[in-house]
Amino acid sequence: MTQADPIFRCAIGDDVIEASIVAWDSEVLGAPVAQIDRIEISDNGAFAATLTEFERWRDALGCAFVSCRLPHTRLRESMQLEDRGFRFIEMVFCMELRHLDRLELADSDLQIVAADPADIPELARIAETGFRWDRFHVDPRLGAGFGGRRYARWVTSTLVHQQQRLLKIIKDELTIGFFIYEELPRQTIHWQLIAIAPTHVGQGYGRQYFLALLHHHRDRGFLTIRGIVSANNMPIVNLLSSLNFRVTKPQITLHWIRPGLTIS
């Protein structure tokens, strides 16, 4: 699937839904996966018609899975979606650290290197086995294989991605984890995917890992670092809070999975 994949838009009065096919997840799943990109509803009761149009589009394409992320206060929208079979999966936080240039940072005993193609199998294996708290692993209707394949493929795709960069975090010869990020305007780093190898989690490497990354990006002139984390992931929320990150923009994620479908 390509950038020209189908998109959906329906606006009736003040009610709007926009959705699109997620090419990436569709390839991993082997069936169309969609996401609702925008949803706004008024209280005039016309929303059912907009949602029915969306369902027609979804079913005509044979979508197996639809996700939707909403600001956590959009309860009217989430309730309507739950009425149509969507299920609440998680809350997420944007974690952001600003003014990197003004921070006192302890040293880290980890080192950072740009990953090269020879590193991909090892880093993809960490991605495949390392995640537990994200929406693909906590949704009880999804087997762990789908999330694992998705994250492994993400690591591999950084080789050809225009914007995303892959760093390897090491302690001498030992691989501790990886960090996938994009550079945004205003000297901002947005991380996309981060993990410490399962054999090294829970041993205090998390703090060293982030200190090394903060030094790395600060040394290159970046001032803000941010990323989205699941509120289920207490280790990362607590770790980042202790490093002075702030929680912003809470959102909720809902999933719809075609009834009767098994995704393993």
Ligand X SMILES: CC(C)(COP(=O)(O)OP(=O)(O)OC[C@H]1O[C@@H](n2cnc3c(N)ncnc32)[C@H](O)[C@@H]1OP(=O)(O)O)[C@@H](O)C(=O)NCCC(=O)NCCS
Q: Which residues bind ligand X (CB under 6 A)?
A: 130-131, 133, 177, 194-196, 201-202, 204-206, 229, 233-236, 238-239, 242
Beta carbon of residue 25, minimum distance to ligand X (angstroms, whole number) = 17
What separation in angstroms does the CA of 100 have from each of 214, 222, 223? 8, 7, 5
Beta carbon of residue 37, minimum distance to ligand X (angstroms, whole number) = 22
Q: Which of 14, 123, 6, 138 is nearest to 60 (CA)?
A: 6
Whose structure tokens read 């694992």? 148
State which residue, 87 or 207, has the beta carbon closest to ligand X.
207
At residue 229, what are phi and psi to the nearest 5 degrees?
A: -125, 150
Nearest position to ligand X, beta carbon: 206
State which residue, 20 or 156, has the beta carbon closest to ligand X.
156
Beta carbon of residue 90, minimum distance to ligand X (angstroms, whole number) = 11
State which residue, 146 or 256, has the beta carbon closest to ligand X.
146
State which residue, 32 or 177, has the beta carbon closest to ligand X.
177
Contacts (Cβ under 8 Å, ≥6 apart) of 207:
239, 242, 243
Beta carbon of residue 129, minimum distance to ligand X (angstroms, whole number) = 9
State which residue, 17 or 239, has the beta carbon closest to ligand X.
239
C-alpha span between 21 and 30 (Å, rounded): 13
State which residue, 54 or 205, has the beta carbon closest to ligand X.
205
Q: Which of 154, 151, 173, 179 is nearest to 236 (CA)?
A: 179
What separation in angstroms does the CA of 197 have from each of 22, 70, 182, 203, 245? 28, 31, 21, 11, 23
Beta carbon of residue 138, minimum distance to ligand X (angstroms, whole number) = 12
Beta carbon of residue 260, minimum distance to ligand X (angstroms, whole number) = 31
